[in-house]
Structure 1
Amino acid sequence: MLSLRLTEIICCAGLLIYLLPVFFCLQEPSRNALDQLRQNKRDVPVSLPLPPPAANFNTSIPTLSLTPSQEPSFVLFPGQAQDPIAIIPILGPSNDFNSSRTPTDGTDRNGCPSKALVMGYYPDWVSFTFPPEKIDFRRFDWIDFAFAVPNAKFALQWDEPQTAPKLLKRLVSLAHAANTKVKLSIGGWTGSKHFSSAVSTDQSRRTLVNNIASFYKTYNLDGIDLDWEYPGHKGAPGNTVNSNDSANFLSFLKLLRTVLPAPARLSAAVETVPFTNSKGNPSMDVSGFAQVLDWVVLMNYDVWGSSSKPGPNAPFRDACGNSTQPGANAVAAYNSWTSAGFPPCKLVLGLPSYGYISSSTAQRLRTRADSNAVKVINDDGDSEGQIQFKELVAQGALVITYDDLESLNMKAAFAKRVGMLGINFFDIHGDTDQWDLMATIRKSMSLP
């Protein structure tokens, strides 16, 4: 049995097995759908003050002209001295930002909660192995039920129509009993096909808004989450796209905001770069969205997937300064969204509870792997789950990218220190039975 620690590299007879935390520097992305999207559809540089190359982890911390409450986060790599993180000094709500709604108890003048929020997605497909009765709701302020999907007639439908309606009602009942609130998440990677058409005209927007409002009332919800992947450029194959998607989306959100009850919370799951403008580039001004959205969830995961050209699933930052996707990490996402006029206190950092396994016949990680390096993992063992040493050697490098307690601690602490609203876990059934990951996250954010 192999016992491996987070950053440990085991070398046996030419075999390299890597367990990679999110801050390892890997060069090549996989060719999965999301990666193709970012390379082919968004192949434009993001003009942001990205973190500089970390040539020496012993770099001294610079002195910044910030008040104590505005100091940027300095994250410790295991066994390393402090290494500064370059963050745009927009560490609190902008002075000219005004919420469209009157602040309520527990919120500041901008409508942002006065304490960090912990949220998590609960997808309907996990209900048989992880029913809502297993959720420790005390650990979450919000649960996002995923997903309802807009159809071609702009009505909402379920992926699991036989079980989802009753499941959502159970979830809401249990959550409310524990003083936890529930939003319905609409869309998702495979559920965004008709979003563009649904928001394209006044009539279509009204139809979708009315259907959402009906669901909101029927299921006694506390909010709505829009997970359109993605406005202005294609996500999954078959999605419709329009150059005016982002502008139409904003018009749709404004209408939805007027129809939903005043206490309802409205959020959106977004990429690490702002919404696409009419020219196909990341918008430099998303302040209009901040007026109608209570927060956005930065989907800082699935940056790389399982491939012979592996990379981190949810990178924290471009620590080596040579990433092929320098805008796709937590620090860059914070920088790009705040630069485009979105208040930090309305940003939520998405954290994954899963990772990816990649296999390659290559004996070490390098800039470019051979095109035929992919090999299906098999075993020659005597029973299920066993594998012979000779097979390990023959299979080459096994790369596992994931977030553990240390990396989640760093990310949650970062979110708190830069004034973000909180974190959202995708998804909550990936934690242990003892909720080890969530306990670490809450502690890092100074929450009980």
Structure 2
Amino acid sequence: FNGDVTVNNPGSTPLSGWQVEFDFPGTISSIWSASVVSNTAGHYVIKGADWNANIAAGGATSFGFTASGGTPTNLALVGATPGQPTQPATPKLSVANTVVQEGNGGTADMVFNVSLSAPTEEVVTVNYRTEDFTATAGSDYQAAQGVLTFASGETAKQVRIKINGDTTYETNESLILVLSGITGAEFGTSQGVGLISNDDVNPNATVEDEYRVVGYFAEWGIYGRDYHVADIPADKLTHINYAFADINNSGEVVLFDSFAAVEKAYPGDTWDQALKGNFNQLSKLKEQNPGLETLIAIGGWTLSDNFSDVALTAASREKFAKSAVEFITTYGFDGIDLDWEYPVSGGLPNNSYRPQDSANYVLLVQEIRRQLDLLEQTDGIDGKEYLLTIAGPAGYDKVANFDLAGMEPYLDWFNLMSYDLAGAWDNQTGHQSGLYPTTGSANALYNVDHAVNLYLQQVDPAKVVLGSPLYGRSWTGVPNTADGGLFDPATGAGLGTFEPGVIDYWHIMDLVAQQPNLYKVYWDEQAKAPYIYSTANGGTFITYENPQSLQYKLDYIKSLGLGGVMFWELDSDVRDSDDPRSLIGLAARELLGDQETDTV
């Protein structure tokens, strides 16, 4: 279940450094807007995040968590006067979005999970009914209505809707579960979207459909990773996204590491040439591979602090777009990839955020597209089309802050970051890029299929390029259980290649090849995802992509008519792309075939 706790300060002075304590026999798998200070025999102490640790007089803040295995009790502020416990907030009732594959016949159950944020002694009732969205009652699903009753102490209920199966290819469709007439609680969310995932093969999707194979080249890879532009398997890619350019405080696109980008000398460079570094190497690579295109990726996780500011006004958008267009014409790129992580909320705490970021992002891509269209008319290159893409999130909580439908007319495609759905920030192991949900996972909606379905509600499937990680996420302190530690507690970040908790794919392959008895590979048939368990380092768990899981995703791309696959980041694959273990090589064989980039 998901818990939502509000901390009020009814006093006349600020409340600084608040902490909340409660008893809970279960497991908290994730927490947001706060962190766990301690858990002693089921007695939790929680403190606020840096940004909400202080509450003004008369103010309030809140935090949430995902948990299982019991009911929290004895909720109080740490240091509250004995005998005067903090009064619990009115519980909130919410319904989660859900997804189900329609099947080829009969009916399948679409399950909506309805939950209370906290148990209450009161009986809670709520009415529910289905409504058409893009799905039609009768032909696509069986309409339903009724009343849910939560007895004292109950926090979870389910509503099951019958979905009609067929063998006809169609786009994904959705219905809405509407809640109303609540008693004994208040609404957190009163509507849930149920997506009916088409699982029939698109008869028009073939390997000749001009799929894209996109790879991100990390600027910093030339240092510790010793990975250079010359190492890129360009014949197996259609597009290279160079990560990253920065946004300065004036709202313009600028170089981040100028030495790596334009100054580092490579063999064949002369001391007096104006452009050296990675950018010059990319130009040479495109000369050798005429079908290859390059895009400059702007922002990313660490460089998104100024995005909200540049998207804010017409003047700031025009200035940013002008600088981005000048950047690609100056340095020879074929397009722009925006990596705003993230609008409204969810990125680094020092980023600028505004509630209107979602709408402003649409206006920003609209302005960039306008200026790119003007460039196409004036650059003197006959038939040249400049690309505009974004890196889009996979987590439903972040997708909610993207107006995908509003952005689609101006974008060539969306690079769906369908990875990092689990990692060492969680205190429970899981799949970082599982294709489908698995029983026992901390969040059944954090999977690739659910993310894709959220996009397909708003955008053309051919504009969705599915992301695949060329790295694993790892934990330590994982118990040695029968299923290899899957969804078990963990104590922190595990083995890493360059930093704890993040391990390159080539490194994983070396561990498995050299120590197969110590690093044991498991397969989750539900998720279509591999994982590794090792007794090393107090119990190590690794979630990653391998050829088997990628093959399922490539078949999935073909069946839904998606636009291709994207890899983060190129330096983490095995170096020989013709090696059967190479994920980039597999994608090129499956999606490009004879379409592979021509080489001269």
Q: TM-score, normalised by structure 1?
A: 0.71
More helix by share: 1
What is the deviation of 1:150?
0.8
Kept in 2, the 8 Å contact 1:361–1:374? The answer is: no
Whether the 8 Å contact between 1:41 and 1:233 is mirrored in structure 2 is: no
Asked if the contact 1:304–1:312 (Cα under 8 Å) also holds between the matched residues in 2, the reply is yes
Correspondent of 1:271 among 358, 375, 393: 393
Pairing 1:408–2:526 present: no
Instruction: Give the whole-Å Cα distance in 2 for the aligned partners of 1:228 and 1:242.
Output: 13
Distance 1:45 1:404, change over 3 A: farther
CA distance 1:416–1:296, shift in 2 (3 Å): same
Residue 168 (structure 2) aligned to one of 40, 43, 66: 66
- What's the counterpart of residue 158 of structure 1? 255
Identify the range of structure 1 (325-334 vs 248-257) with the bigger mean alpha-carbon deviation.
Answer: 325-334
On the 8 A contact 1:146/1:184 being kept in 2, the answer is yes
Give the distance between the partners of 2:209 and 2:494, measured in 1 at CA: 50
Amino acid across the alignment from 2:587: I
Q: 2:477 aligns with which of 353, 360, 370?
A: 360
- Residue by residue over 1:50-83, the C-alpha shift from the partner in whole angstroms, topping out at 9 and shown as x without a partner, is 45899xxxxxxx962424x989xxxxxxxxxxxx
* Distance in 2 (alpha carbons) for counterparts of 1:63 and 1:356: 36
- Quick one: distance in 1 between partners of 2:214 and 2:305? 26
Aligned to 2:447: 329
Q: Aligned partners of 2:468 and 2:361: how far apart in 1?
A: 25
Instruction: Assess if the C-alpha contact under 8 Å between 2:395 and 2:421 holds in 1.
Output: no
Give a deviation string over 1:115-154, Cα, whole Å, max 9, x none: 1111100010112411111112110000000000112111
1:200 has 2:312 as partner: yes
Which residue number in structure 1 is paired with residue 349 of structure 2? 237
Q: Could you say if the C-alpha distance between residues 116 and 240 of structure 1 is closer, same or farther in structure 2, counting changes exceeding 3 Å?
A: same
Gaps of 5+ in 2: 1-26, 37-48, 50-61, 67-93, 102-107, 111-163, 173-194, 203-207, 263-276, 377-384, 497-510, 519-533, 595-600
The answer for the alignment partner of 1:319 in structure 2 is 438
Q: Which has the higher strand share?
A: 2
Shift in Å, 1:45: 5.9
Q: Any idea what SS the aligned residue of 1:303 has?
A: coil
Q: CA deviation at 1:330?
A: 1.5
Letter in 2 for 1:183: L
* CA deviation string 1:400-437 (max 9, x = no partner): 11111111111122112210000111111111122121
Aligned amino acid, residue 281 of structure 2: R
Q: Which residue of 2 aligns with 1:310?
A: 429
Does the 8 Å CA contact 1:274/1:337 hold for their aligned counterparts?
A: no
CA distance in 1, matches of 2:536, 2:552: 36
- Residue identity in the other structure for 2:99: P
RCO comparison, higher one (Cα < 8 Å, 6+): 1
Inter-CA distance 175–327: structure 2 relative to 1 (3 Å threshold): farther
Q: Deviations over 1:21-41 (max 9, x none)?
A: xxxxxx9756799x999x968
3-state secondary structure, aligned to 1:225: strand
Determine whether 1:169 maps to 2:301.
no
Contact 1:267–1:295, Cα closer than 8 Å, also in 2: yes
Per-residue CA distance 1:150-203 (angstroms, 9 max, x = gap):
121112233312221331231133124302100000000001000001110111
- 1:376–1:184 distance in 2 versus 1, CA, 3 Å: closer
In structure 2, the partner of 1:144 is: 241
TM score, norm. by length of structure 2: 0.54
Report the aligned-residue RMSD: 3.9
Q: Which position in structure 2 is the counterpart of 1:250? A: 362
After TM superposition, list the pairs within 5 Å mapping 1:218-237 onto structure 2.
Answer: 218-237=330-349
Q: CA deviation at 1:374?
A: 4.5
Structure with greater Cα Rg: 2
Structure 1: runs of 5+ lacking an equivalent: 1-26, 55-61, 72-84, 93-112, 379-384
Matched, 1:430 2:572: yes
SS in 1 for 2:259: coil
CA contact (8 A) 1:231 1:275 kept: no
Q: 1:96 corresponds to which residue?
A: none
Question: What is the Cα deviation at residue 303 of structure 1?
Answer: 1.4
Q: Following TM superposition, by how much is the alpha carbon of 1:324 offset from its aligned partner in structure 2, in angstroms? A: 3.0
SS at match of 1:149: strand
Is this contact kept in 2: 1:70–1:91, CA < 8 A? no
Distance change (3 Å), C-alpha of 1:172 and 1:64: farther
**What secondary structure, in the 3-state scheme, does the structure 2 residue paired with 1:224 have?**
strand
Q: What letter corresponds to residue 576 of structure 2 in structure 1?
A: Q
Give percent identity, aligned residues only.
24
- Are 1:116 and 2:211 an aligned pair? yes
SS of 1:256's partner is: helix
Aligned CA distance change for structure 1 residues 53 and 229 (closer, same or farther; 3 Å): farther
